[in-house]
Each structure stands twice: as structure tokens, then as C-alpha cells.
Structure 1
Amino acid sequence: MRTWTRPPYRDHLAERDEVPGAVGRDYVFVNLVGPYPARPMTYSNAKQIIERIGNRCGFRTCPHMMRHTAATRWIRSGVDPDVMQTLLGHVSSACTAVYLHATDGDLRTAVELAASGAGR
């Protein structure tokens, strides 16, 4: 999470924890006001909020970008692909495979490994 998002997220959590029933919820986005406080937000509501924040910051964004970033970070930090597949709710490992990006560093390491003969 980028540094500029941490304080607002902490503020959100503090505000969320003041809503009866919201403490300890596993959901990132819960309704803080309205007829369904402490219940998970609908995708549509979360999407509208994320898009509005992105527009204020001058770029386009959506909740799926956060999901993609989290999945990419999980796989890059060594989370087992089967675990990640379950976390993401993917039925097929082919769906999870889209997060297996080779970085420039990965490519460079592979070429250097091959050049040194260490792969034998």
C-alpha cells in the first residue's frame, strides 16, 4: 500500500470501528451509514467510491485493480498458487496464472543464471 493511502485507510478503519457491529468484520468495505450499517458494501457502491476517489486524484481506478495488485503481491512474495487461487475464488488455476508476471529483474536473473552455467 502506498504511503499516501495509509492515513486515509487508518481513518476509515477508525471510523468503521465506531459503527456498532462493524468491529472485527472481515470486509474492507462496509456501510458506515444508511439502512445497513456494518454490512458489506455492494460491489456497485464500492466501485463508485473507488472511482470517485480516483477521479479526484486524477486517474482512473476500480476495485479490481486493488484485487489484481494484492494477487500480484501475494504471488511475488511466495504465497502458494493454490492458496492464492482459493483466496481469489478461482475455480481454475488458469485464471490465477494471469498474476504470474515476469519482471525485468526476473528476466535478467534468468539470463545471468544461464550465462553462468549455474542451471546445470
Structure 2
Amino acid sequence: MSSLALTLLYLLAAVLGVVTCRSLKLPPMLGYLAAGVLIGPHALALAQNSEGVRHLGEFGVVFLMFAIGLEFSLPKLRAMRKQVFGLGLMQVVLTMAVVSGLALVLSRWAGGVWDMGWQTAL
């Protein structure tokens, strides 16, 4: 499949995914993700040119960063700094502690199959 055909396939799938998600009152990002998963090499395998898909993925990341940059507001971040940095940091630390604890418990329970120290679990 040529690069132009691959690009048009992904654009058509993205538009259809967004229209479907909008009609179900879901965020458009889910439509993009669903379209990528369905078209990709592990589902319907419509796009098997991995080099072309890689280039499209790089453009997608650039456009995503651009869209996030358009919505970024420094005054809004300053006003919410306690929630963003306080609660966000607490969520990350708590998640790391819970997942590390579960990995250690699984390591003790599974024995030699899943043997790891606390450094690996963390």
C-alpha cells in the first residue's frame, strides 16, 4: 500500500471514528485510538507498511503535542498548582507503592517463576 493510500485510509478511519464517538457522546480521542487499533497490523491488518505507519505515528504525536499546547494555560496551572502538583504527586507515589506491593506479593506467591527484589518491583 502506498504512503498516500495509507494516509487516506487513516484519515477516513479517524473521521469515521470521531463521528461514531461524537454520536455516542464520547471524547474524539477514543475514536482515533479505536481507528488505529482496528486498522493496525494486529486487528484487521489493513495497514501493513510498518515504516509508513511509523511516520504517520510521528506526525500524530507532533499534532497531539500541538493541540495540548493550544489548550495549555499558565495562569490556570498556577491557580490549580495545589491540585496538580500536590494531588498529582500523591497519586503517582500512591500508585507506585500499591503496584510495587502487589508485585512483591506476587513474587512471594509465585516463587521461582516470578522472582524479584524490591528494586525491580519499584
Q: Same fold (TM over 0.5)?
A: no
Of the two structures, which has the highest relative contact order with CA contacts closer than 8 Å and spacing of 6 or more? 2
Please report the TM-score for the alignment, with normalisation by the length of structure 2: 0.27
Q: Which has the higher helix share?
A: 2
Q: Which has the larger radius of gyration?
A: 2
**TM-score normalised by structure 1 residue count:** 0.27
